[in-house]
Structure 1
Amino acid sequence: MLKNKEAKRSAKPRRAKTPEASFLGALYQQQSFKYRLAQGFGVLFVVSLVLQAWAFANVFSDMALHQSFSLSLLFIGLFALLLRALANFARERICTSASRDIRYGLRSKLVSHLTELGPARLRIEEDAALSTRVYEQVDALDDFFSRYKPQVFMVLLIPCVILLSVVSISWIAFFVFMLTAPLVIVFMIFVGYKAAQANRRQFSVLAMLSNQFMDLSQGLAELKRLGRTDEARDRLSYSAESYQKTTMGVLVLAFLSTATLELFASLSIAMIALYLGLGLLESLPWQEGSSPVNLTQAMFLLLLAPEFYLPLRQLGNDYHAKQKAEAAATDLLEILNTGQSDKAEPVSSLSVTISDINKEAFLSLRKVSWLEAGRHRLAPISADVLKGQRVWLSGESGVGKSSLLHLLLGFEESYQGDFYIKGRPFSEIHLSEWRTQLAWLPQTPEWVSGSIKRNLLLGIEPPSDEVLREALQKSQCDEFIEALPNGLETSLTELGSGLSGGQMQRLSIARALLSEADVWLLDEPCSGLDTETAEAVLSTLDKVSQGKTLLIVSHDTHPIMWADKHWAMTKEGLYEKDL
């Protein structure tokens, strides 16, 4: 019989948690110890609250009836008041600390994940919008973890303790509390749902505004040249106004929620006060001539009434923090889920055997292809690269040259076929171990805001001055750096403003030399450079890449005659050409 009941109970459909709720719940569990400690202080808070109300109720009633009061009761009340304040202070500090640790850990996880995604992060959003998510939307979780989650426990604790204290004194006051409390909760949920929709719109508009700021800063010189700055300013102004409207919409809902909850709480307290006042005057219609409570009990109930509704009002004020956090969690989950749902084990070709692998090759590709959305981003290719060999890869745009580099960098895992590093399957190699051997020179070098020296040494162990000077000389950066006012300490923006395209490529070469990587992957290093500058950059690469295993992507417009091999890539595959 018991087993049947348990089976029926387990068969009942349970309401599944939303992904956002599960995500926020998992983050909450990371700081479960701190939250349990905060709950302990919450229990201390409510005990001191009831003790304070009881002591002050006796003091006030004695003063009114006997024109005297007990010093011991007064000290008990004051002690309870102090204990309540200290418990609340400790609870808030612990919850704030827990929220900070959760957000710092989450932000670190997001940044690490975006780093692992590499260029694939642009499938989610532009970098400006992603930075908004990582900073603004992670911080949007603060109120949820520091205020809302702890307040949920207090909402369950304080009213229950007060109801237990009230039920033995007055059944009518007990039922007034029981009937009015749900009204506060229902309206809180209704307004909170509207606030969630408003917060999602606000985050969307903020992301768009961030992207427009980034686009404008990058293309300002070109806009000035074309005389289109007024249109760009009007567009940015329109987006700013849209963000202002959505922000005001969120604030309107927050103020509406607060005002309504205050109204319900005030009316409920007024009902309790009216009942107690008429009772003390012995004027209740159903109990004329007698009082249902004495003065001490009435004072006790009247002191507890605001405390009964206070946690409900605070939860109502904080409920929009829950909706805001869930709206932010939607965008944060999109980042964390990117690269996971589409990850697949590489599909090995059944025709590849151990004997097919060139054991002397540093890199072996066997029928490696990349199929995405029903089309080939990379046609099946098979080739070998020996250690120290320099390979020039050319081909038309769209045939998969950059896609091949992304596969080698480990940013894409949904490929088909097999490729091996020193005879080991790439899927068995730790990416962090592999990437320490790589130097990556993208088509457009990426910089951080800071000095030239900081950009050169970013992510590597600081070398000696002699090693740094030698790298600058080999990459032919020393002359133009010495000509700068502050030399290596010259400030560099994220766009590399103040330097020419050739100078930025030479700095990239210097950074590759300082990394001491054995494998260099270069994606169109001469893109956007004039013929003379491109030849100078290629000449520098020829000198500094001796002994390196190098794969360089470049169009036929800039032939690389010093390469050991020339691979031509087409939509059908890969074949070797004569230099």
Structure 2
Amino acid sequence: MSKREKVPKPTKQKRLKTPEMAFLNEWADCQSKRYRLVQLLGIVFTVSLVVQAWTLANVFSDLVITGTFSVSLLLMALSALFIRALTSFGRERLSAGASRSIRYSLRTKIIDHLTQLGPSRLRIDEDAALSTRVYEQVDALDDYFSRYKPQLFMVSLIPCVILLAVLPVSLIAFGIFMITAPLVIVFMIFVGYKAAQANRRQFRVLAMLSNQFMDLNQGLAELKRLGRSAHAKQRLGDSASAYQRTTMGVLRLAFLSTATLELFASLSIAMIALYLGLGLLEQLPWAKGEAPVTLTQAFFLLLLAPEFYLPLRQLGNDYHAKQKAEAAATALLEILVTQQQPAEVNLPAQGTHLSLVKTQSSSLLTFHQLSWQEAGRSRLAPITNQIREGERIWLSGESGVGKSSLLHLLLGFETGYQGECFVYDKSLDAVDLTAWRSRLAWLPQTPEWVNGSIRQNLVLGIQPPSEQALRDALEKSQCADFVDALPNGMESKLTELGAGLSGGQMQRLSIARALLSNADVWLLDEPCSGLDEDTANAVLDTLNRVSKGKTLLVVSHDTHPISWVDRHWNLTHGGLHEQSHQAIA
């Protein structure tokens, strides 16, 4: 979280709530001005409601008794009705706007946080499930912020105002309202708790379905070769059926809640109507021959009775939105609290960033007993060595010794390491992370692409280069021939999986992207993984030519030896060992 970003601090009252509710309330506080205006319009709406009921009761009673009515009262009733409609429209627009702003800000914050986490995001969940959280579960908060949050104020305001208006008119009607209203609320909470459990199950199944769909999409060609596509289809179908069942379970609870609340409200209104009808007929058992209320008062109470239960019914309908939002907030909080962003954890106080100016140090990177212990296990054995500028290092070792972890540390995505790491003579913790990353070119094991043209993927995140610079990068990385052979050249479309290109071609394009970035420090993680020997040798040959003069740290197994590097490091669980290696000019 950026220090410049204003996030409301939880009060003592908020600390007593669940983390999910504190999270939702903090984001709602960001739109407090809109919500206060919504409340103000709610007060106007409630006053208009009572005025409308009183004026219409007088108009109807005059029609029944005298056959006439007051035009001024009728105009007042119609004006109150118009004000109610206008304020209701304004409340909905303001609430929808607040919800939209909150969800936009929250989604931006989560995406920024995941970007800062980098590869560490995979500790939370796979990318497919994370995308579901970012889009589906953030949108699941809409009903909470646009409907439930504003309705909380109305459900306390309207019934209280109506009770005050009813009390001097009829104690019996007041008692019926007081007895039946809590029944609606209790049942709403009971059904809402069950709905929360169902929503959490639904989100878990949706995440599993998203992950399975992405895995199936990525490995479909391999599954066909192995003859397992039918089995994979069956698994995906089972997950889809499970999601369908959980969704229907949520809908059943929602319909059950709505039907029950409607039943309670209808019975309560019927009780008021029965009392008033018998009273006007002077047939009440305890008041034979007496009318407890006048006709005007009876009309007034009948008009207010549905309005008394309406906010309770609406809150009951929206209560499952609260439970759905809490379930979504649980998943979103897991992302935001997994790890603080490196910019806040690593960097010193504001104004003390250290620039990356070359010093008298002969080493660009220096490691002194650099290690990484996490959750009681070693992710990286202690390393002590240095990398000089322009030096090309090959780091080999078996899986699990921490080769990729070292790259993640250098990229600034991990902060909980032990020992020391220096850039020139300054600690990595103290340098400006943005300036350091601007010098890095990162070539992961599996290059990542966005849906778009080859040109768009090559220039993504950098200053648009000239056409000649693009051609030079393609030529140097040996991409020009196969790119020109495509039907649309550099305008040919790429998918996120690089569909239509071979593994070697995708690696060469990633090298071209590194060349265009003008980075002088290249970090490569298994650049030949999944490639056959001939293709791997061709990629390594390309790297040899284009990386001269660059500071290079390439991580790979011993499967494809790299003869042209300056030094060869071998990393084991016991530490780092430098191998005897003859560099080739």
Match of 1:431 in 2: 433
Match of 1:247 in 2: 247
CA distance in 1, matches of 2:56, 2:344: 68
Q: Using the TM superposition, name which of 302-311 and 535-544 deviates more.
A: 535-544
Match of 1:485 in 2: 487
CA distance in 2, matches of 1:458, 1:92: 40
Q: Using the TM superposition, name which of 337-346 and 46-55 deviates more.
A: 337-346
Match of 2:448 in 1: 446
Tell me the CA shift for residue 501 of structure 1: 0.9
Task: Tell me the matched-pair count.
Answer: 558
- List aligned pairs for 1:63-82, cutoff 5 A: 63-82=63-82
- Other structure's SS at 2:524 match: strand
Match of 1:521 in 2: 523
Q: 2:402 aligns with which of 388, 400, 403?
A: 400
Tell me the CA shift for residue 451 of structure 1: 1.2
Amino acid at match of 1:494: E
Match of 1:349 in 2: none
Name the CA shift for 1:89/1:128 in 2 (closer, same or farther; >3 Å).
Answer: same
Match of 1:210 in 2: 210
CA distance in 1, matches of 2:74, 2:200: 51
CA contact (8 A) 2:14 2:22 kept: no
Tell me the CA shift for residue 272 of structure 1: 0.7
Q: Using the TM superposition, name which of 299-308 and 381-390 deviates more.
A: 381-390
Tell me the CA shift for residue 469 of structure 1: 1.3
Q: Using the TM superposition, name which of 181-190 and 467-476 deviates more.
A: 467-476
Offset from partner CA, 1:415-435 (integer Å, 9 cap, x none):
100111121111112322321
Match of 1:459 in 2: 461
Match of 1:320 in 2: 320
Offset from partner CA, 1:399-440 (integer Å, 9 cap, x none):
111110011011111110011112111111232232121110
Amino acid at match of 1:19: P
Tell me the CA shift for residue 15 of structure 1: 8.4
Match of 2:275 in 1: 275
Match of 1:291 in 2: 291
Tell me the CA shift for residue 575 of structure 1: 2.2
Tell me the CA shift for residue 397 of structure 1: 1.7
CA contact (8 A) 2:34 2:98 kept: yes
- List aligned pairs for 1:11-30, cutoff 5 A: 16-30=16-30
Match of 2:392 in 1: 390
Name the CA shift for 1:488/1:345 in 2 (closer, same or farther; >3 Å).
Answer: closer
Tell me the CA shift for residue 341 of structure 1: 11
CA distance in 2, matches of 1:136, 1:181: 35
* 1:376 paired to 2:378: yes
Q: Which runs of 5+ in 2 are unaligned?
A: 1-11, 347-358
CA distance in 2, matches of 1:258, 1:486: 56
CA distance in 2, matches of 1:13, 1:227: 59
Match of 2:91 in 1: 91
CA contact (8 A) 1:343 1:414 kept: no
CA distance in 2, matches of 1:36, 1:142: 18
Offset from partner CA, 1:476-528 (integer Å, 9 cap, x none):
11111000001111111111111111100000001111111121100111112
Match of 1:354 in 2: none
Q: TM-score normalized by structure 1?
A: 0.94
CA distance in 1, matches of 2:464, 2:344: 38
Offset from partner CA, 1:133-184 (integer Å, 9 cap, x none):
1111111100011000100000011001111111111111111111110000
Q: TM-score normalized by structure 2?
A: 0.93
Q: Using the TM superposition, name which of 523-532 and 507-516 deviates more.
A: 523-532
Tell me the CA shift for residue 554 of structure 1: 2.1
- Other structure's SS at 1:370 match: strand
Match of 1:568 in 2: 570
* 1:474 paired to 2:457: no
CA distance in 2, matches of 1:401, 1:41: 61
- List aligned pairs for 1:498-513, cutoff 5 A: 498-513=500-515
Name the CA shift for 1:13/1:102 in 2 (closer, same or farther; >3 Å).
Answer: closer
CA distance in 2, matches of 1:193, 1:358: 65
Match of 1:101 in 2: 101
Match of 1:198 in 2: 198
CA distance in 1, matches of 2:419, 2:159: 64
CA distance in 1, matches of 2:365, 2:200: 47
Offset from partner CA, 1:371-402 (integer Å, 9 cap, x none):
12322111111111112221111122221111
* Percentage of pairs with the same residue: 70
